[in-house]
C-alpha cells in the first residue's frame, strides 16, 4: 500500500510501515532514539508473545526482509504489537501523522491513588510492588520492550523547519494530544510502551514555535486526534477485541498508585 499524495509518504510491506521524505531531521522517543538525518522512519509490527534479546539484529533482519536496506543504523524505528492493517494517517496543513493504537497494556494514572509515601519521602513498599513488580528505580524499558501487544505509536512530520526547541516541543504537543484522545476514547492516557517520532524539513519555511496556539502545533494536535481515533476504530470496532475496562482486566498494564512527597523549593 502506498499513499502517493501525502507530504510524508508511507508504504506498508511485510509488517513494516515506512514513512519517508527526503532530507528531513527526526527526533524519536522510542528504542535507539534521539536525533537523526535520514529519509525514512519505521513502525515495525511484532508477533504475539514476541521476546527479543538483540533488538539491533532483529530490526536489521526485519528491514532487510522487507527490502528496506540503506546501510544506515540511525533511522528511527518503533515497535508495536498492533497489526499494521490498523495503521491510519491524517493530514492537516503542513503536518502528516501516522498512528497505530492498541490498549492491551494500559498505563493508568489515578489522581487519587491508593498508595502513599513515607514521611522521609520513601515510597511504601506495598505500593512499589503493585505495578508488575516494578519500582520507580527500575529501568522499565527492558521489561516494556518484551510486550508490545498494545502500544500507541505516532510518526509525525511537518514540512516546516522548526527552530531550536520547537522540534522537541512538537513531541510534547503530540504526547499531550495522544493522552487527551486516549482518555476520551479508552479511559487511559496511554500504554506502557507508547512512543513518538517527529520530523521537520530543514529546507522548509522556518517556524520559531510549535505550541498548541501555532499553526503547526494545532495541525499536529488535530492529526494525532484523528489518526489515533481511526486506528482504534479499526482495531476494535466490529471485532472480538475489546478495550479493557480497567488495568486489572487487561492482559498487561500498570497503575501508578504511589504518591510523591510534595515540597516547597
- How far apart CA 201 and CA 237 sit, in angstroms, is 36
pLDDT digits (tens, 9 = 90+) for 237-258: 988 889 999 999 998 899 999 9
Taking residue 124's Cβ as centre, other Cβ atoms within 10 Å add up to 15
Domains of the chain: 2-102+133-240 (3.60.70)
Helix then strand count (H, E) for the chain reads 5, 15
Nearest of 177, 150, 175 to residue 79 by alpha carbon: 150
Predicted pLDDT at 143: 43
CB 208 within 8 A of CB 160: no
pLDDT digits (tens, 9 = 90+) for 95-114: 999 999 999 999 999 999 87
pLDDT digits (tens, 9 = 90+) for 217-230: 999 999 999 999 99
Nearest of 136, 104, 125, 140 to residue 256 by alpha carbon: 136
> What percent of the chain has pLDDT above 70?
83
Predicted pLDDT at 129: 43
Instruction: Provide the residue count of the chain.
Output: 265
Residue 106, strand partner residues: 191
Confidence tier at 71 by pLDDT (50, 70, 90): low
- DSSP letters, 223-259, are HHHHHHHHHHHHHHTTSS----SSTTTSSS-EE----
Asked whether the predicted pLDDT for residue 156 surpasses 80, the reply is yes
Give the least confident one: 23-37, 46-60, 116-130.
116-130
Grid cell for residue 105: 497494556
Q: What is the mean pLDDT of the chain?
A: 87
Within 8 A by CB and 6+ apart from 139, the residues are none
Amino acid at each position: 500500500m502506498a499513499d502517493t499524495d501525502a507530504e510524508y509518504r508511507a508504504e506498508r510491506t511485510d509488517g513494516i510501515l515506512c514513512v519517508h521524505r527526503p532530507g528531513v531531521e527526526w527526533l524519536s522517543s522510542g528504542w535507539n532514539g534521539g536525533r537523526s538525518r535520514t529519509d525514512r522512519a519505521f513502525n515495525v509490527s511484532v508477533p504475539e508473545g514476541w521476546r527479543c534479546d538483540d533488538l539491533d539484529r532483529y530490526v536489521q533482519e526485519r528491514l532487510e526482509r522487507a527490502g528496506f536496506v540503506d546501510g544506515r543504523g540511525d533511522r528511527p524505528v518503533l515497535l508495536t504489537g498492533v497489526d499494521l492493517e490498523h495503521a491510519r494517517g491524517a493530514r492537516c496543513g503542513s503536518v502528516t501523522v501516522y498512528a497505530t493504537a492498541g490498549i492491551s497494556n494500559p498505563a493508568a494514572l489515578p489522581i487519587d491513588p491508593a498508595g502513599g509515601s513515607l514521611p522521609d519521602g520513601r515510597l511504601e513498599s506495598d505500593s512499589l510492588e503493585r505495578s508488575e513488580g516494578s519500582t520507580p528505580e527500575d529501568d522499565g524499558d527492558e521489561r516494556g520492550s518484551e510486550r508490545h501487544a498494545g502500544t500507541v505509536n505516532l510518526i509525525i512530520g511537518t514540512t516546516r523547519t522548526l527552530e531550536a526547541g520547537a522540534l522537541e516541543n512538537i513531541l510534547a504537543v503530540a504526547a499531550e494530544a495522544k493522552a487527551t484522545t486516549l482518555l476520551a476514547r479508552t479511559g487511559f492516557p496511554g500504554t506502557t510502551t507508547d512512543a513518538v517520532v517527529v520530523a521537520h524539513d530543514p529546507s522548509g519555511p522556518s517556524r520559531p514555535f510549535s505550541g498548541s496556539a501555532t499553526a503547526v502545533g494545532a495541525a499536529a494536535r488535530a492529526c494525532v486526534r484523528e489518526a489515533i481515533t481511526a486506528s482504534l476504530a479499526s482495531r476494535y470496532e466490529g471485532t472480538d477485541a475489546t478495550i479493557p475496562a480497567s488495568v486489572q482486566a487487561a492482559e498487561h498494564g500498570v497503575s501508578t498508585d504511589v504518591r510523591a512527597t510534595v515540597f516547597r523549593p
